Amino acid sequence: MKIPLIRPVITAETKARVLEVLESGFLTEGEVTRQFEQAVRDYVGCRFAIAVTSCTAGLELALRALGIGPGDEVIVPDYTYPATADVVAIVGATLVIVDICRQTMLIDYEALEQAITPRTKAILPVSLFGNPLDYDRLQGLKERYGVYVVEDAACALGAEYKGRKVGTQADMTVFSFHPRKFITTGEGGVIATNNPEWAEWLNSYKHFGMEVSASRRQAYFKRIGSNYKLSNLLAAVGLSQMARIEELLAKRLALADYYRHLLAQQPLVNLPQTTVHGKHSQQSFGIFVPRRDEVMDYLRQQGIEAQIGTYALHLFPPFAPGENCQLVGDLKNSRYAFDHCLVLPLFYDMTTADQELVVETLKQALL
Ligand SMILES: Cc1ncc(COP(=O)(O)O)c(C=O)c1O
């Protein structure tokens, strides 16, 4: 592709940090992972940051930390990557899938509230593409119904609501560091929380149930656990980028502004809305266009790696309605986004000429 969707920022410093780990001989999770966690914690402003192998793993562990399982209901939006819903099924809870708001592509708070029942243990909204959630509304639901909020913030590192970073407002927030994210470890995730008990449980469970803070001569296992550790090698990749996160984010925001400027006069292109009082991190720059698949094919033929937004879960077999999966309402906004959302390339060293080419090609495709 002439213009890729995203390109990770791998510098000489990244390579040097990875080489240092390789030469240290200490490849599994260790000191470098601790530094990576600290970098995320300092940036986000949360009390605890727990590195895991992926956002999906982190979401699963967050639900397990809350004791969610069979008999509990967890509400998720229909328009998301399947991982958001998979984890609910994996822990044995019942999935309740609701529609999104067409303008923001985030969970529809009214549909969400109507779907709450006495069995609802948690809601799992998604700050999709880096658009932050309305935490005032979520806080209201927490207070009214006593539900937990676990946020799928796979794409939302750097986003803010009312001046507070994503990662400090839900009970647990899980970030992804997959290579499509602007800060990547190759594969990886971090769970952010302010709750010491959950943090202790998560740190122990991801490490074979070990008592992590023990000053014992040998390991002490205090519970059944598993292995979700993030290797020093991967943490080193992310650490080099975390050191530059403000600059990397500022560049994304500037690129997104320029796209908005270029697209402003295009009657066939609709731009989604950012949450009121929110600051979008522009992890993905999505737009709505008619004949989306044709337009996307045309862009790709011209060497521009456009992509669909994400998926309408109800259209896929694992999320067919059944005993452990409820679909609420007609989910028409999710279907609309699934059919019309197109994500345009956006990466750190993208030039204004690249962006102009993308938009010119888009205009041709829309003729
Ligand atoms: C909304 C959402 N949730 C979860 C995930 C899964 O993240 P990971 O690949 O880190 O498991 C993704 C992946 O892109 C995502 O977009």
Query: The domain spanning residue 48 has which CATH number?
Result: 3.40.640.10
> Best of 60, 178, 183, 184 to mutate for ligand 1, by most ligand atoms within 8 A of CB?
178
51 burial via Cβ count (<10 Å: 0-12, 13-18, 19+): buried
Ligand 1 in reach of 40 Cβ (< 6 A): no
The C-alpha atoms of residue 163 and residue 224 are separated, in whole angstroms, by 39
The residue range of the domain holding 146 is: 1-367
The C-alpha atoms of residue 10 and residue 17 are separated, in whole angstroms, by 11
Report the domain count for the chain: 1
What's the pTM value of the predicted model, to 2 decimals? 0.98
pLDDT of residue 212: 72
Ligand 1 in reach of 54 Cβ (< 6 A): yes
**Closest Cα to atom 7 of ligand 1:** 55
pLDDT of residue 132: 98
Are 206 and 52 a contacting pair, CB within 8 Å? yes
pLDDT of residue 96: 98
Tokens 């647990």 locate to 172
Ligand 1 in reach of 81 Cβ (< 6 A): yes
Sheet holding 341-344, edge to edge: 285-288, 341-344, 307-308
pLDDT of residue 217: 79
Closest to 316 (Cα-Cα) out of 74, 85, 75: 85
Ligand 1 in reach of 131 Cβ (< 6 A): no
CA distances from 300 to 2, 339, 344, 363 (A): 9, 17, 11, 14
Which residues does the chain have with pLDDT short of 50? none
The C-alpha atoms of residue 110 and residue 137 are separated, in whole angstroms, by 10
Which tokens go with 24? 């240290």
pLDDT of residue 214: 61
